[in-house]
Structure 1
């Protein structure tokens, strides 16, 4: 099964169709790998187990049949609240193969917003990872009259307390009571499904065949930076298109091993599953962020999708380690980093000019030496086989992109939104261009509006916001063009460049427009200690910035500069650290127009995070929230200034 078998213009009605076709084509090939806690892995590592496509289908069909046995009807919503793990994928495919629609809920979402999403979506059931997720549902059960079932991935630690027949369990038990809800384990649901299939052996095939392309498949709630999230309606055809379009780019191959750690509640992670089912390659699944570095040499992926923040942290970690070793080690790193950037930048410039990615002989020789000294170790940290890593959700600083490209780990930036079912552009592996988000996927169109806004049209575009027709009309035009809210341009070769979010652009009191994302990206490229930066200046007569530092990078620096024994808050508020960061601010200012320069900055006492409401679950900064939270610091930076 491939895109050659299913051309884009005659694609199957759904990923459920693609899934059954994949299983029929390669039943005995490995589909998924997943870690088992406490398992006896090699060299003290965790044990990783596998599922073939046939084994995956057996479980997916049991889950789907279990949902049918519970009375699930076409397009009825079933929510999933869990971290990234293989059960998330099995549950999602089970919902799809039952003709239902999955509602994705971030496991970090608080109880109030979880209840809002479940109520707004009209979810009848929810898969939850563990007792903590169950507790959030139970807390606001009175707001969820339509929710009937909870299915636990991890077995209840006290199964006698939460049997579906024991609605009068002790209120103080852990996890909490769920009056009015039938609570099942995933295993129990699968057993019900197996019994259903014994009576109706063709139930799943018949249900899948009845799925229509425009049938609702997924509701993903945008983690908006202001207000309540909006439910994005993605139909089965969106995911079928995504699968075939991704494979057509050549970024994934049947013999690949892909490491999936991105949140599946986010559209980026969800879309990767469509591509994997179409291609048939192996997917190693583990969403624990603190295990990424440990897992990479174990999984040894050939492809991986990521967010820019990961590469920023890896680069900052490498730079900090080299700086700590000092002497020749640090000088070699600085030299090798420059060679990597020069090699990648020169190759790209020649590719654009001549169609061939070549470099001068002297640079090629330097690159070979740097490869033996530095780059090989970087590739080994990624497992040694990584052809490239697709990156999305935010912009990657070009200098960091050139560094990794020169080191042999190209970061292939792409672009998409929840409203476009993730990817709508991506850089091709054989002609990637740092600083762009690549070309459109086959079947997707792009054009630039008069005000510079990027407009998109294609099968992956959402069918609207759930229960919000007025909001839908604001962004979806009658002829199918979707207003992205991003500003950018398209070059003569079809490569798209994003310059900023339309709503993030601001005008100084002097009438000059500033694109804060561009400045923030430049700062991240030169400062190895930064975690987050927020450039401010709307209606002001100069720009300022709120900056947070990466604790793992700044604390070793502090210890080696006479601040041993101080905690993080003390370190980042010290004059020495302010002077350190000021040096990087001045470096960035040197390449900016006068009205863009950062005149003052404040280093915050802690990093931004989801728990305090400063970041969305997909780690985007909530600019208005942060500005308001630290308004006293912002006002202090403008105190005494003359506003024009």
Structure 2
């Protein structure tokens, strides 16, 4: 193994030696923290790894993890590494079909299940043949419960550390198209990326992290879980969606990552509380401005943060700009499951580069293909897709760069702007291609819009589907219509004739994971909306704004 690369299990041993009695994980149970020291975590890791051996699982076996974030998720992940098992995380919101597919495709021998909101709906996907082990939460029936599991067999103490090239985990992409693919990440690729995060963001034992974005996704697994192993930072968890704000305020994080949808929700809550015009006025009054900003930071629980991040989907530049005005600088980052989620970031935050995802990190090479596609190469790259050699081969160019599927521009400072997805571009009935993402970015400037998607495959002109923000849903319809119409009229004259938007259609149904419009990482599935709305919206002309029930 590369001497510079240590596995999380080695790092855990280091922290046990240097700060074993310090609190590492903080799990809220009924509103009170249950704390785990570094020593507690190592002991439970050894007990769980020993129990898995006792149950007949062999190094190299795949073990699935299906749970919301909690302290036991970290302990389970460490135990699987310690025992030489290959972890297969599954989204806690995954439906039964996805769970069944991932378990069968990965050939998982066991599944460790934990905090779940809808386990009864998911249980058919787990089936009765696989060994089920349960974390100490209300979850689906299992053969072994956590406390008895930790007493099973002898703790595994002297296991050898994994090698850099050993497979650590299969991470199934939440893909917005087709079946999930299992990206193979090694200890080397994971460790390199986690160390890069700590190096760049300069986190250490004094930092406080909070874990709430799904650990089944590579971003949280690297940026929060992974970075804690290499920085020695303390990690708190969120108990539930209802307690989210209180949990963040209690954790007082010094680093906070979120997704565009949540940043937009926080903004809405602030504006609803203060009022848009009033807030703008107060921010212009010098002394009051700093008091208002401080109050907002405290209200969000982010007053101690030296780093705020956003990733997993494009965030409107206007939203980052708005936060910048209230004294919160959000560094947008870019990454994928296939490159361990950390390749490009606007950090240290540069307000002049809002709208870009920043520069490539040290050790990561990027280039723009002739087609405009972003290509990436770094030690954090996966070795391939599990059981899919042809797809793997097609995903890399002859120089070993990964084809990301994202279209980009790279400026003279090396800052990258994502301009769309290769697969998102569609052909209208006029036979001309339209790139929807740049148009969506312009439409997203309207404050009434929460989510939107431009469709138009086979239609005379593109149509924008819009989900209104909660605040906009409460406003008089004609006011919202006038605003959307003004936005549309300001954008259309600057588009090519075949790109002009024929209409904005305000959808009736909220888009979410349950109705299959959003992936677990809250990306919009364009193909699903194309299928549902193409016929419905065909025939609207003249840059109209229509509610779905008016069609």
For the criterion TM > 0.5, the same-fold answer is: yes
- 8 Å CA contact 1:128–1:134 kept in 2: the answer is no
Name the residue aligned to 2:528: 625
- 8 Å CA contact 1:33–1:49 kept in 2: the answer is yes
- 1:639–1:466 distance in 2 versus 1, CA, 3 Å: farther
- 8 Å CA contact 1:393–1:416 kept in 2: the answer is yes
Structure 1 unaligned blocks of 5 or more = 1-7, 38-45, 158-174, 177-181, 198-202, 324-329, 338-365, 562-573
Match of 2:133 among 148, 151, 157: 151
- Per-residue CA deviation, residues 295-330 of structure 1 (Å, 9 max, x unaligned), is 22222211111111111122233334444xxxxxx4
Match of 1:445 among 357, 365, 369: 365
TM-score (norm 2): 0.90
> How many angstroms apart in 2 are the aligned matches of 1:131 and 1:619?
18
- 8 Å CA contact 1:505–1:513 kept in 2: the answer is yes
Match of 2:159 among 206, 213, 218: 206
1:374 lines up with 2:254 in the alignment: no
> How many angstroms apart in 2 are the aligned matches of 1:318 and 1:578?
23
> How many angstroms apart in 2 are the aligned matches of 1:372 and 1:484?
42
Name the residue aligned to 2:112: 127
Match of 1:268 among 201, 207, 219: 219
Name the residue aligned to 1:191: 151
- Per-residue CA deviation, residues 200-252 of structure 1 (Å, 9 max, x unaligned), is xxx44423x2x111111111111122221111111111211122111110352
Alignment of 1:93-492 (within 5 A): 93-129=78-114, 135=120, 139=124, 147=130, 149-154=131-136, 183-192=143-152, 195-197=153-155, 203-207=156-160, 209=161, 211-272=162-223, 273-286=225-238, 288-323=240-275, 330-335=276-281, 366=284, 368-369=286-287, 371-372=289-290, 374-383=292-301, 384-429=303-348, 431=350, 433-492=353-412
- 8 Å CA contact 1:27–1:52 kept in 2: the answer is yes
> How many angstroms apart in 2 are the aligned matches of 1:585 and 1:318?
26
> How many angstroms apart in 1 are the aligned matches of 2:532 and 2:190?
39
Shift of 1:608: 0.7
> How many angstroms apart in 1 are the aligned matches of 2:14 and 2:215?
23
- 8 Å CA contact 1:296–1:381 kept in 2: the answer is no
Shift of 1:445: 1.2
1:613 lines up with 2:531 in the alignment: no
> How many angstroms apart in 2 are the aligned matches of 1:514 and 1:539?
11
1:26 lines up with 2:26 in the alignment: no
- 8 Å CA contact 1:387–1:410 kept in 2: the answer is no
- 1:12–1:377 distance in 2 versus 1, CA, 3 Å: same
> How many angstroms apart in 2 are the aligned matches of 1:523 and 1:51?
47
Name the residue aligned to 1:500: 420
> How many angstroms apart in 2 are the aligned matches of 1:222 and 1:212?
25
> How many angstroms apart in 2 are the aligned matches of 1:138 and 1:276?
32
Name the residue aligned to 2:446: 526
- 8 Å CA contact 1:392–1:414 kept in 2: the answer is yes
- 8 Å CA contact 1:75–1:215 kept in 2: the answer is no
- Which entry has the higher C-alpha Rg, 1 or 2? 1
Shift of 1:294: 2.5
Shift of 1:471: 1.0
- Per-residue CA deviation, residues 61-94 of structure 1 (Å, 9 max, x unaligned), is 2112211222222221110111111111111111
> How many angstroms apart in 1 are the aligned matches of 2:299 and 2:117?
34
> How many angstroms apart in 1 are the aligned matches of 2:389 and 2:304?
47
- 8 Å CA contact 2:92–2:214 kept in 1: the answer is no
> How many angstroms apart in 2 are the aligned matches of 1:442 and 1:435?
21
Shift of 1:492: 2.9
Shift of 1:541: 4.1
- 8 Å CA contact 1:386–1:409 kept in 2: the answer is no
TM-score (norm 1): 0.78
- 1:134–1:205 distance in 2 versus 1, CA, 3 Å: farther
> How many angstroms apart in 2 are the aligned matches of 1:289 and 1:517?
30
- 8 Å CA contact 1:524–1:530 kept in 2: the answer is yes
> How many angstroms apart in 2 are the aligned matches of 1:108 and 1:319?
30
- 8 Å CA contact 1:247–1:279 kept in 2: the answer is yes
- 8 Å CA contact 1:12–1:18 kept in 2: the answer is no
- 8 Å CA contact 2:331–2:349 kept in 1: the answer is no
SS, match of residue 289 in structure 1: coil
- 8 Å CA contact 2:69–2:115 kept in 1: the answer is no
